Amino acid sequence: MLDKLIVIIPGITLLLFVLNIFYKGNTVQSCIIFILSLLPLMDIKITPEAFGGFKTFDAICFYSFIFLFKDFITINIKSRNNFYFMLFVLLGIIILLGGLSSEFPGKTWLSLIKALPIFIFARFFMTECYKDGTFHLKAIKALKVSYMVAIVFLCIQRVVGLKFTFYPGLSPNTFDPIFHLIRYPGIFYDAQAHGQFLAMGSFLFLYIEKGATRKNIIINYTFFVLAIIGMNMAGSRAAFGGFAIGLLLVFFMAAKNYRIYGLIFLVLSYFAFTLISIHTGVFDRAKNISDDLTFRQNIWKEAFDISKQHPYLGIGANNYQSFVIRHNQDQYLEIEDGQLVYFDQPENGYLKIMVELGFIGFAIFLLFLLVPLIKGLLLFIRNVYDKRVALFMASLISFLVAFNTVYSIFDNRLLIMVASMVVLIVAYPVNNDANELVED
């Protein structure tokens, strides 16, 4: 169905962006809100792989960089994001040097160019949050709209079948041949990425503005429950585990009303699973954990051995599959008709980054994610941030847990979500009365 429209969806998306600029103005805010509001469309290809495989998100970010260049280079001495700028510069140097020194230098410049859009987006997003203390609320609303669309898309896919998708062919993990289960990918190509996406976004629906109507509160909590159900339909155990740990953090850090509502809706979610009898993944696949873990551990060990052989600069960005085909030919899956597919990642996001970028690049990547969490926690303890910052921290933690089983940030939608959570934590409004919690 939608896969037949895949050739025109990128054009429609870019046309909508032009109309957005025309009606909303050529501003940083209009560009950021457009990206967040149409998040499901931000990973659609506009060029074939032979020409770089660039996506709609890349085109919008490069446009913003060129035509809003003055806003991009404006330096605020009081800004708190200089540390992240330096991290990105260091990461760019590692990507460049690692690629040039690898056995497969052909992808070096392309990898560097394709790393720029997320930095452009994050810098614009962060500086705008600093300039406008209410912008984070607009961004959260835009993200909620995208998640509502994604959940509605999943519901339609559940009714009409997997032909309702953006992709002409879906990941082999969509159907589990052992348990004969369908793992619904929703707007994604891969069900695991879909689960991570829903886990991260579910916490947005616990973010309720002061003075919200009862109708608004009910809608938010309804979509929170639907996101949990969607995770089960995606059959991603890691995503569900990350969600559970994130929710535990919310229970400890957030206000009493979140604990009460959270427990109520977890109970409702359990009954929802029971009543509608969705046998699609998370719980039905639990008995397969031992074999699955053994399989992954063998791949992880080989990947770590590769990283020890290339400790400083790695084997080069996006070179894992090329390296495996040449040196570790036992890392493959056999699919239909005896066709072999070599791994392009070692079933672990952290190890893929460690192998491709070396220990230095891996350390920089961790700093991007851990520093915001530590900062958010310290400012929360000092009562500088209000308690709702825990929701963004929980979203980021859910990703950190699930990333342990699959490299998922190849998809711009997940990459944007990770960057957004980092920005929303780092640039969270300080001592802003407009952002106080709804008191118990």
Best CA proximity match to 272, nearest among 223, 311, 317: 223
Quote the domain boundaries for residue 239: 2-286+346-435
Alpha helical stretches, state H, 101-213? 108-131, 135-160, 191-202
In a domain, 302, yes or no: no
Q: How many CA atoms within 13 Å lie on the side-chain side of 217?
A: 12
**Domain contains 385:** yes
Q: How far apart are CA 135 and CA 113, in angstroms?
A: 28
pLDDT computed for residue 356 by the predictor? 94
pLDDT at 83: 84
Tokens matching residue 226: 């639907």
| Burial class of residue 3 in the structure, from the number of CB atoms within 10 Å of its CB (0-12 exposed, 13-18 middle, 19+ buried) | middle
pLDDT at residue 266 in the model: 62
Is 318 within the bounds of a domain? no
**81 within a domain of the structure (yes/no):** yes
Q: Give the per-residue pLDDT at 273.
A: 53
Residue 320 domain-assigned? Answer: no
Considering the domain boundaries, does residue 398 fall inside one? Answer: yes
pLDDT of the residue at 195? 94
Backbone dihedral region for residue 253 (phi beyond 0: left; psi -120 to 50: alpha; all else: beta): alpha
Q: Model confidence over 165-200: pLDDT tens digits?
A: 888 888 777 876 666 678 899 999 989 999 999 999
Backbone angles phi, psi at 16, to 5 degrees: -60, -35
Question: Residue 417: its pLDDT value, please?
Answer: 97
CA distance 255 to 96: 46
SS3 187: coil
User: Long-range contacts for 297-306 (Cβ within 8 Å, ≥24 apart)?
Assistant: 299/331, 299/343, 299/346, 299/347, 299/348, 300/346, 300/347, 300/348, 300/351, 302/328, 302/330, 302/331, 302/346, 303/346, 303/348, 303/351, 303/352, 303/354, 303/355, 304/351, 304/354, 306/355
pLDDT of residue 298: 84
329 assigned to some structural domain: no
Paired with 342 in beta bridges are 332
Count: domains in the chain: 1
| pLDDT one-digit tens code per residue, 388-423 | 899 999 999 999 999 998 899 999 999 999 999 999
**Residue 331, domain member (yes or no):** no
Q: Which pLDDT tens digits describe the chain residue by residue (440 residues)?
A: 555 667 789 999 999 999 999 999 999 999 999 999 999 999 999 998 888 899 999 999 999 999 998 888 775 545 556 788 889 999 999 999 998 888 888 888 898 999 999 999 999 999 899 889 899 999 999 999 999 999 999 999 999 988 888 888 887 778 766 666 788 999 999 899 999 999 999 999 999 888 889 999 999 989 998 998 899 899 888 898 899 899 888 888 875 665 665 566 566 555 555 554 444 455 555 455 566 667 778 888 989 999 999 999 999 999 998 888 888 877 777 666 667 778 888 889 999 999 999 999 999 999 999 999 999 999 888 888 888 899 999 999 999 999 998 899 999 999 999 999 999 999 998 855 434 433 33
List all residues 6 or more positions away from 293 whose beta carbon is below 8 Å from its beta carbon. none
Residues 6 or more apart in contact with residue 144 via CB below 8 angstroms: 204, 205, 220, 223
pLDDT at 437: 36
